[in-house]
């Protein structure tokens, strides 16, 4: 390994161990690992190809850094650490040279990453297909409390973890011109089992990137117009689609990677010489939400146009190939496309969608289902293509991602479809990989677990954590456990001080809410509760409280104006509280910049309290709640998403549940009036009024007034206080008081934390992926 690293340093940089900088050393070690695994990777792919394989189509893969995780899974960390020690180099310094891959945004993409890692560890032949974004979502900074988006240039330095495959490039056809799709392959390494799967990401490039004649005529912009048009597809994740041009670019992105991926699979299949009816017996394709659902008509198009297969036969092949994961019940998130976009960009694909829509109508017009219901379920209606409906009809499996979420799909959101195809609906509760989120992110706690259990088999069999329950009353173990928590809090506090210039007291209770910024996740409710506590202290300066540090981490989509307003509001609250000597040492608020996977690896192990406070029935599952739990953190939250199953596993007495349940909110049936709550609760009114009374400045943008209006009057697309912040406020405040009371009992609190850890076994993505493999894909583990 040393010789290999040295060779790469010399050949790539003309340096050696003593003269190379940290970035060059990181690159050389990473490339050496790629060389080391090459044979195992090739052998794994060959073995996988002998049987049925599954493919995960996803617009996002939030992978995080690769070096540390890959060394962990290979078992090479001690060797590399010892090698670097000879040169007084810390491996962590090199890990920090790696940028987080800009391939995802939130839970959807992180779930995809966990699934790929778990599949490799379980020796399941599952591979990923997606887009190689140049700038990802964006890099977040704050300017006077406002979110500012700047390019996340994660490919600024040579990227060592992927291999460009020009010999397997494909052509993608759009009505406005063809584009090349170049595959980049990244290895997904299983935990110490020699199984290596592949994440294949497509990069868009022009067929003719440079027009020499135009350049010679001094039309310089025109000379590179095709290059710019093609490369725009892979520039950023989720481009702002507030205008039609943005919507077209998003549709192009989706079709680009789906068409390339299906062409790739078809190319491999044709080489086998099998009958087309065998296609679903060799390949299973999971559609991760609606972004890749254009795969259904695209496969039919390929079969019809390129291989002259009749529509009915092609549709049956597609239906047996595809399975669909639904990640939301929010109507605005159930993706729809105006037919004009399909007609202008993908006219042939639109013709196929029309055929699918007509077939659906013909298939069920003679059924007992009322004609009005059938009409409401049409794939094309009101000049829109309903992608979720296309996914359900064009696949053989539809799954939710938590028990409650799946029940809501069946009973409310997709009730008509469930009644039509009850056998297709199933639940697959999400999970996370314990290798990254415990073994790698929290090595001290991992060592304590191994010591208590007597072996490391929990790393691949997380249900064995249940054996920790017998230590729940062992004060020595609990004391060591909480000392580790304190150590992780210190690590986080040091990082924030060094990188963001903010000093946090690690002896305070770390109350953390980190997730994508969306109204239903109710970061605003958290902000209101913080203000409530602040005002209580102003009125009673001598009041004794448990010192708290409230930490937020989230990005708002560039076009999500209201979410940006919430970030500004929280930062205004932070500025007011953190500068007030009356509450100094008792409350502090900090919004971390550019929350991502690597930041999460510091935040999850350091949390004392996990904020999971979404409106009941709105969060499909959540996986951040699982990462907190796995690191021994109680949840304060509603009975929503996977919170329900967390409480079932760890006990409601070891968590802090508040708020209206789904049934209660349904029973309100539109009768809820937030103004009544506002007017009859002076403390709540005072807090809400800070949005409009000048307490905090939104810089003249009107953001705060718009937030106030959304709560009091609603908008054309939603009712007042659509996510029931005011309705749940009092109960949330009471739950936070119970947290403080519990925290003042150190042993009792430690016991709650320990029992959450001990009962986290269900939430491994290993369990989830094995259920997908058996119930949906029918793939088998490979003998390694």
SS3 sequence, 401-439? CCHHHHHHHHHHHCHHHHHHCHHHEEECCCCECHHHHHH
Give the per-residue pLDDT at 670. Answer: 82
Judged against a pLDDT cut of 90, whether residue 333 lies above it is answered with no
Three-state secondary structure call for residue 724: coil
| Local confidence band at 365 (pLDDT 50, 70, 90 cut-offs) | confident
Q: Which tens digit of pLDDT belongs to each residue from 442-452?
A: 999 999 999 99
Q: How confident is the model at residue 211 (pLDDT cuts 50, 70, 90)?
A: confident
Residue 210 has pLDDT above 80, yes or no: yes
| Residue showing tokens 């690191």 | 631
Contacting residues for 584 by C-beta, under 8 A, at least 6 apart: none
Query: How is residue 614 annotated by DSSP?
Result: P
Cα 46 from Cα 394, distance rounded (Å)? 30
- pLDDT 10s digits, 238-282: 998 889 999 999 999 999 999 999 999 999 999 999 999 999 999
What percent of the chain clears pLDDT 90, i.e. is strictly above it? 95
Three-class DSSP category at 736: helix
If pLDDT is split at 50, 70 and 90, which confidence band does 784 have?
confident
Q: Which residues make Cβ contacts (< 8 Å) with residue 729, sequence separation at least 6?
A: 525, 528, 529, 677, 681, 684
Confidence tier at 596 by pLDDT (50, 70, 90): very high
With cut-offs at 50, 70 and 90, classify the pLDDT of residue 585: very high
Sign, CA torsion 634/637/638/644: negative
- The three-state (H, E, C) secondary structure of 239-306, written as one string: CCCCCHHHHHHHHHHHHHHHHHHHHHHHHHHHCCCCCHHHHHHHEEEEEECCCCCCHHHHHHHHHHHH
Tell me which of 691 and 223 has the higher pLDDT. Answer: 691
Residue 373 has pLDDT above 90, yes or no: no
Distance CA 111, CA 328 (A): 14
Ordered domains of the chain (ranges, CATH): 437-668+728-768 (3.40.50.2000)
Q: What is the pLDDT of residue 242?
A: 86
Determine the pLDDT at residue 331.
76
Condensed to tens digits (0 to 9), the pLDDT of residues 12-40 reads: 999 999 999 999 999 999 999 999 999 99
Catalytic sites, residue numbers: 327, 515-516, 521, 623, 627
C-alpha 689/C-alpha 59 separation (Å) is: 40
Please tell me what DSSP assigns to residue 763.
G
Residue 364, CA distances (Å) to 171, 318, 367, 374, 378 in order = 37, 19, 5, 7, 11
Q: What mean pLDDT do residues 156-175 have?
A: 97
- Report how far residue 208's alpha carbon sits from residue 188's, in angstroms, rounded to the nearest whole number: 33
Say whether pLDDT at 783 is over 90. Answer: no
- The span from the CA of 599 to the CA of 729, in Å, is 29
Burial 166-185 (b: 16+ CB within 10 A, else e): eeeebebebeeeebbbbbbb
The whole-number average pLDDT for the span 524-546 is: 97
Using pLDDT thresholds of 50, 70 and 90, give the confidence band for residue 724. Answer: very high
pLDDT at 595: 97
Q: What is the pLDDT of residue 366?
A: 72
- Give pLDDT, residue 369: 77
Lowest mean pLDDT among 528-542, 637-651, 666-680, 681-695: 666-680
Neighbours of 536 (CB within 10 A): 14
Query: Which pLDDT score, from 0 to 100, does residue 367 have?
Result: 74
Q: What is the pLDDT of residues 518-531, one digit of tens each?
A: 999 999 999 999 99
Task: Report the pLDDT value the prediction gives residue 688, as an integer from 0 to 100.
Answer: 98
Band (pLDDT 50/70/90 cuts) for residue 438 is: very high
Task: Output the DSSP codes for 488-546.
Answer: HHHHHHHHHHHHH-----TTSEEEEEES---GGGTHHHHHHHHHHHHHHHHH-TT----
Q: What is the value of pTM for the model shown?
A: 0.96
Mean of all residue pLDDT scores within the chain: 96
């Amino acid at each position: 390994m040393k010789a290999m690293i040295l060779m790469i340093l010399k050949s790539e940089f003309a340096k050696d161990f003593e003269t190379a900088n940290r970035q060059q050393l990181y690159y050389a070690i990473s490339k050496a690992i790629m060389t080391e695994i090459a044979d195992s990777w090739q052998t794994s792919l060959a073995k996988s190809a002998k049987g049925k394989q599954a493919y995960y189509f996803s617009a996002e893969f939030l992978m995080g850094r690769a070096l540390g995780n890959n060394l962990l899974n290979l078992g090479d960390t001690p060797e590399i650490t010892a090698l670097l020690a000879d040169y007084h180099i810390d491996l962590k310094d090199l890990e920090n040279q790696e940028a987080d891959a800009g391939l995802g945004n939130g839970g959807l993409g992180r779930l995809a990453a966990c699934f790929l890692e778990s599949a490799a560890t379980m020796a399941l032949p599952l591979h990923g297909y997606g887009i190689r974004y140049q700038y990802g979502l964006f890099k977040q900074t704050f300017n006077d409390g406002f979110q500012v988006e700047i390019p996340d240039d994660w490919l600024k330095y040579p990227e060592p973890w992927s291999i460009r495959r020009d010999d397997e490039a494909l052509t993608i056809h759009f009505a406005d011109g063809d584009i090349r799709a170049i595959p980049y392959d990244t290895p997904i390494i299983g935990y110490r089992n020699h199984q290596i799967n592949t994440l294949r990401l497509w990069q868009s490039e022009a067929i003719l990137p440079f027009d020499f004649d135009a350049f010679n005529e001094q039309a310089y912009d025109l000379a590179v117009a095709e290059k710019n048009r093609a490369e725009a597809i892979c520039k950023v994740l989720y481009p702002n689609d507030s205008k039609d041009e943005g919507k077209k670019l998003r549709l192009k992105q989706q079709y680009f990677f789906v068409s390339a991926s299906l062409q790739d699979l078809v190319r491999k299949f044709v080489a086998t010489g099998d009958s087309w009816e065998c296609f679903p017996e060799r390949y299973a394709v999971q559609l991760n939400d609606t972004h890749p659902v254009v795969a259904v008509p695209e496969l039919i198009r390929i079969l019809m146009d390129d291989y002259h297969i009749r529509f009915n036969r092609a549709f049956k092949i597609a239906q047996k190939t595809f399975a669909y994961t639904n990640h939301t019940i929010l109507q605005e998130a159930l993706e729809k496309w105006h037919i004009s976009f399909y007609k202008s960009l993908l006219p042939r694909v639109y013709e196929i969608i029309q055929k699918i829509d007509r077939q659906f109508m013909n298939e069920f017009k003679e059924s007992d289902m009322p004609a009005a219901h059938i009409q409401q379920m049409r794939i094309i209606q009101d000049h829109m293509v309903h992608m979720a409906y296309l996914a359900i009809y064009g696949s053989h499996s539809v799954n939710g991602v938590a028990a409650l979420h799946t029940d809501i799909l069946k009973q409310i959101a997709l009730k008509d479809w469930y009644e039509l195809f009850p056998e297709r609906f199933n639940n697959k509760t999400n999970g996370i990989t314990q290798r990254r989120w415990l073994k790698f992110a929290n090595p001290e706690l991992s060592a304590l677990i191994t010591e208590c259990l007597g072996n490391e088999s929990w790393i691949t069999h997380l249900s064995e954590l249940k054996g920790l329950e017998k230590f729940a009353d062992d004060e020595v173990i609990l004391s060591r456990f909480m000392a580790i928590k304190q150590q992780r809090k210190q690590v986080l506090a040091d990082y924030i001080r060094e990188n963001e210039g903010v000093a946090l007291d690690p002896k305070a209770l770390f109350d953390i809410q980190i997730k994508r910024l969306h109204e239903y996740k109710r970061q605003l409710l958290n902000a209101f509760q913080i203000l409530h506590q602040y005002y209580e202290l102003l009125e009673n300066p001598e009041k004794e409280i448990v010192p708290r540090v409230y930490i937020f981490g989230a990005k708002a989509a560039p076009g999500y104006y209201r979410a940006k307003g919430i970030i500004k509001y929280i930062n205004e609250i932070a500025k007011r509280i953190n500068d007030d000597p009356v509450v100094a040492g008792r409350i502090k608020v900090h919004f971390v910049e550019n929350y991502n996977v690597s930041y999460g690896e510091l935040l999850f192990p350091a949390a004392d309290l996990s904020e999971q406070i979404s409106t009941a029935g709105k969060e499909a599952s959540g996986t951040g709640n699982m990462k907190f739990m796995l690191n021994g953190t109680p949840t304060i939250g509603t009975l929503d998403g996977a919170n329900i199953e967390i409480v079932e596993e760890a006990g409601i007495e070891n968590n802090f549940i508040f708020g209206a349940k789904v049934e209660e909110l349904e029973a309100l049936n539109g009768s809820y009036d937030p103004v009544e709550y506002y007017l009859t609760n002076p403390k709540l009114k005072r807090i809400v009024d800070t949005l409009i009374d000048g307490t905090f400045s939104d810089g003249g943008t009107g953001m705060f007034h718009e937030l106030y209006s959304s709560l009091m009057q609603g908008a054309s697309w939603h009712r007042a206080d659509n996510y029931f912040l005011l309705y749940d406020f009092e109960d949330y405040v009471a739950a936070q008081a119970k947290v403080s009371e519990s925290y003042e009992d150190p042993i009792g609190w430690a016991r709650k934390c320990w029992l959450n850890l001990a009962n986290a076994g269900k939430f491994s993505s290993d369990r989830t992926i094995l259920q997908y493999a058996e119930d949906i894909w029918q793939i088998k583990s490979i003998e390694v």
